[in-house]
Amino acid sequence: MSDREKFSAEELAIVMSHYDIGIIQSIKEFARGSRKAPKLLVQSDKGEYLLKRRAKGKDDAFKVAFSHAMQLYLASKQFPLPHLIGTKRDNNSMLQLHGTLYELFEYIRGTSYDNSLEATFDSGKILALYHKLLRDYTAEFEPPTGSYHNSRSISTSIDQIPFTFTRLDRMRNISEQQVSGTLGFLRDSYVQACEKVNSTGLNDWPLQIVHCDWHPGNMLFRNRKVVAVIDYDAARLQQRVIDLANGVLQFSILGGSDDPTTWPDYVDESRFKRFIRGYDEVDVVSTAELQVIPWLMIEAMVAESVLPIAATGSFGRIEGYGFLQMIERKIRWVQEHLDHLITSVAQ
Give me the tens of pLDDT residue by residue for the chain, a chain 347 residues long. Answer: 458 899 999 999 999 999 999 999 999 999 888 889 999 999 999 999 999 999 999 999 999 999 999 999 999 999 999 999 999 999 999 999 999 999 999 999 999 999 999 999 999 999 999 999 999 999 888 899 999 999 999 999 999 999 999 999 888 888 899 999 999 999 999 999 999 999 999 999 999 999 999 999 999 999 999 999 999 999 999 999 999 999 999 999 999 999 999 999 999 999 999 999 999 999 999 999 999 999 999 999 999 999 999 999 999 999 999 999 999 999 999 999 999 999 999 77
Identify whether residues 331 and 201 lie together within a single domain.
yes
Identify whether residues 204 and 338 lie together within a single domain.
yes
Q: Look at residue 112 and tell me if it is in a domain.
A: no
Identify whether residues 102 and 147 lie together within a single domain.
no
CATH code of residue 286: 3.90.1200.10
Q: Look at residue 328 and tell me if it is in a domain.
A: yes
Q: Look at residue 2 and tell me if it is in a domain.
A: no
pTM: predicted TM-score of the whole model, two decimal places: 0.95
Q: List the domain range (segments joined by +) for residue 29.
A: 9-106
Identify whether residues 137 and 24 lie together within a single domain.
no
Identify whether residues 129 and 213 lie together within a single domain.
yes
Domain termination residue (choose one: 50, 78, 106): 106
Identify whether residues 97 and 145 lie together within a single domain.
no
Identify whether residues 220 and 79 lie together within a single domain.
no
Domain termination residue (choose one: 56, 84, 106): 106
d(CA 128, CA 264): 29
Domain termination residue (choose one: 87, 106, 125): 106
Q: Look at residue 3 and tell me if it is in a domain.
A: no
Identify whether residues 83 and 156 lie together within a single domain.
no
d(CA 41, CA 340): 46
CATH code of residue 64: 3.30.200.20
Q: Look at residue 4 and tell me if it is in a domain.
A: no
Identify whether residues 145 and 241 lie together within a single domain.
yes
Identify whether residues 258 and 302 lie together within a single domain.
yes
Identify whether residues 23 and 139 lie together within a single domain.
no
Q: Look at residue 1 and tell me if it is in a domain.
A: no
Give the chain's domain count. 2
Identify whether residues 132 and 97 lie together within a single domain.
no
